[in-house]
Amino acid sequence: MSTLSDLLEAQKQLSEKDIEWIHRVHGDGQLLADLASADIVIWAQTPDDSYRAVGHIRPSGAATLFYRDIVGERVRPQWQSQVREAFREGEIVDSSSPEWFEETPTRVKAVPIVRRDETGTAVIGVITRHTNLSEVRAPSRQQVTFDECANALFGMIATGDYPDMTAPMGPRRGAPRAADGMIKLDVDGVVTFASPNGLSAFNRMGFVEELEGETLSDVARQIMPPERDASADEASLPVLLAGRTPWRSDLEARGVTVALRIIPLRDHGERIGALVLCRDVSDLRNQEQELLTKDATIREIHHRVKNNLQTVASLLRIQARRTSSEEARESLLQAMQRVAAIAVVHDTLSEGLSQKADFDEVFSRVLRLVAEVAAAQNTVAHTRKRGTFGTLSSEYANPLALALTEVVTNAVEHGLAGREGQVEIVADRDEEELRVRVRDSGSGLPEGKVGRGLGTQIVRTLVEGELSGSIEWRTIADGTEFDGGTEVAIDIPLRWARG
């Protein structure tokens, strides 16, 4: 199914600002559907003067009329005249009598989506509200209030007063919904209605009286802890709760956190009150805090592991400098390089929030270690990298960094061996596999065979054992600057790295 963005961009007559406006309307589609207890469909005009559904939101507290999505479909004949009239006239068009949809009596209301800016107003789409009349029964006070609020918001959409593009978007996770708790304020910020869930949220924060008849900003001042230093948002919250400005914030008291969203209501530009949506998100905030604490702990562990590994590498370097045996010095320096390569990965992981590393950054730091090897061997190695490794989890990054350190170091130490040459690393990645090619312009494989030293054994163990990949050494014969040199081909399946 095409996305909202795809469908809107297909309508060539819509500007970027029009598309952004419709996105904002669609973002509040669930609120509109829940308040109206009706299906909400958003229509965009097509080049042939018809209309196509670009969005569909079902109510969460009432039966839907559409059991299958109608997104992407053209407007049906029974709604076309209403939608066209709302679009052309810029007025709300209500059905004159109940209509039947698949043997269900319905009421359809078409609302123009009007975008307002400094140049004026323009109709850029239409919302239809489809109410299932077979579900209608004696409405409760809450249902009546919800319907009044829905009508107010639809009226604001038709005059370009909603959505407010200056209003903060806020996170989707934990955002309050109509069913979570709704409070309606009059123009003076006095509560005229509080849903049971909305009242319960404030009761849990310590306000034990009835909310209706109270000024919500005064209620906030009563329950906010006076001894705690408030942030800028919290300090201004009582003023914001007067309902004059669209806002999102959290109110905390007695260990309870309530997410608030304030929506001013207007009638042709004149403020008539406000909606305050509220939701107890204490559990969500506790979970987020636990995750932050866990992430901080893991980063600290990586940082300490990196420090310890760097200490070990430094000790190995010192020991190598002091030993009199050339063979022992070479072994100690190789061990130092291996430890340093692993430290690079942990250093990168300690800087991020996830347990994934940008391996291109890791590998660029590994190449610096290789430059040290080249300098120690009186070798001039010109290294270059093509392609990208992308992001890899620590399970992949550690063994791959160590394996590539061995391969590239070997290309410098043995392939170039005291002379000037080229080392090229090519990374090619898709959804299924990571392919790495390390090529050098050196002397090639001795006798055309791969050695059986410790470095080769380490690389095979890492690639074939830990990464479940394959590795192959071959002599290059392609007539390029690498002709006669060695190519190491490493292929690693990424079936465990997805997500």
Q: Mean pLDDT score of the chain, rounded to an integer?
A: 83
Angle, alpha carbons 471-473-476 (nearest 5°): 135
Closest CA to 245 of 231, 266, 230: 266
β partners of residue 429 = 434
Structure confidence at residue 461 as a pLDDT band (50, 70, 90): confident
CATH for 355-499 is 3.30.565.10
Q: Please give the average per-residue pLDDT across 463-485, as a whole number.
A: 86
Report the 10 Å Cβ neighbour count for 17.
Answer: 13
Query: Is 355-499 in the same CATH topology as 4-159?
Result: no
pLDDT at 233: 52
Instruction: Provide the 8-state DSSP code for 212.
Output: T
Closest CA to 78 of 55, 58, 95, 90: 95
Condensed to tens digits (0 to 9), the pLDDT of residues 394-403 reads: 778 878 888 8
Closest CA to 484 of 435, 453, 448: 448
| Cβ-proximal residues to 481 (8 Å cutoff; 6+ apart), any chain | 422, 441
What are φ and ψ of residue 324, in 5° steps? Answer: -95, -10
pLDDT at 229: 46
Residues in the chain: 499
DSSP 159-211: HT-SS-TTS----STT---GGG-EEEE-TTSBEEEE-HHHHHHHHHTT--S--
What the block records as the tokens of 157 is 């959409």
More confident residue, 491 or 299: 491
Q: Provide the 3-class DSSP secondary structure of residue 465.
A: helix
Condensed to tens digits (0 to 9), the pLDDT of residues 194-212 reads: 999 999 999 999 998 899 9
| Cβ-proximal residues to 432 (8 Å cutoff; 6+ apart), any chain | 493, 494, 495
The position carrying tokens 């410790």 is: 454
Q: Which of 109-118, 313-322, 384-393, 489-498 has the lowest mean pLDDT?
A: 489-498
What helix, strand, coil percent values describe the chain, rounded to 5? 45, 25, 30
CATH architecture, range 4-159: 2-Layer Sandwich (3.30)
Q: pTM of the full predicted structure?
A: 0.62
Closest CA to 14 of 123, 120, 112: 123
Tell how many helices (H) and how many strands (E) occur in the chain: 13, 18
Asked if 436 and 490 count as a contact pair (C-beta separation under 8 A), the reply is: yes
What's the CA gap between 380 and 371, in Å, rounded?
9
CATH architecture, range 178-280: 2-Layer Sandwich (3.30)
β partners of residue 280 = 258
Structure confidence at residue 364 as a pLDDT band (50, 70, 90): confident
For residue 426, pLDDT over 70 is answered with yes
More confident residue, 344 or 388: 388
pLDDT at 355: 65
For residue 240, pLDDT over 60 is answered with yes
Structure confidence at residue 38 as a pLDDT band (50, 70, 90): very high
Condensed to tens digits (0 to 9), the pLDDT of residues 51-77 reads: 999 999 999 888 888 888 889 899 999
What are φ and ψ of residue 203, in 5° steps? Answer: -60, -40
> Which amino acid is residue 410, in one-letter code?
N
What are φ and ψ of residue 295, in 5° steps? Answer: -60, -45
Phi-psi region of 63 (alpha: psi -120 to 50; beta: other; left: phi over 0): beta
Closest CA to 406 of 457, 452, 348: 457
> Which amino acid is residue 250, in one-letter code?
D
Q: Which of 103-112, 146-155, 360-369 has the lowest mean pLDDT?
A: 360-369
What's the CA gap between 64 and 304, in Å, rounded?
55
Condensed to tens digits (0 to 9), the pLDDT of residues 402-424 reads: 888 888 888 887 777 777 888 88
Report the 10 Å Cβ neighbour count for 2.
Answer: 12
What's the CA gap between 441 and 414, in Å, rounded?
11
Condensed to tens digits (0 to 9), the pLDDT of residues 244-280 reads: 889 888 888 888 889 899 999 999 889 999 999 999 8
The position carrying tokens 């006239």 is: 89
Q: Where are the beta strands (DSSP E) in 305-456?
A: 356-358, 380-387, 391-393, 420-429, 433-440
What the block records as the tokens of 451 is 């050695």
- Domain boundaries along the sequence of the chain: 4-159, 178-280, 283-354, 355-499
For residue 232, pLDDT over 50 is answered with no
pLDDT at 321: 81
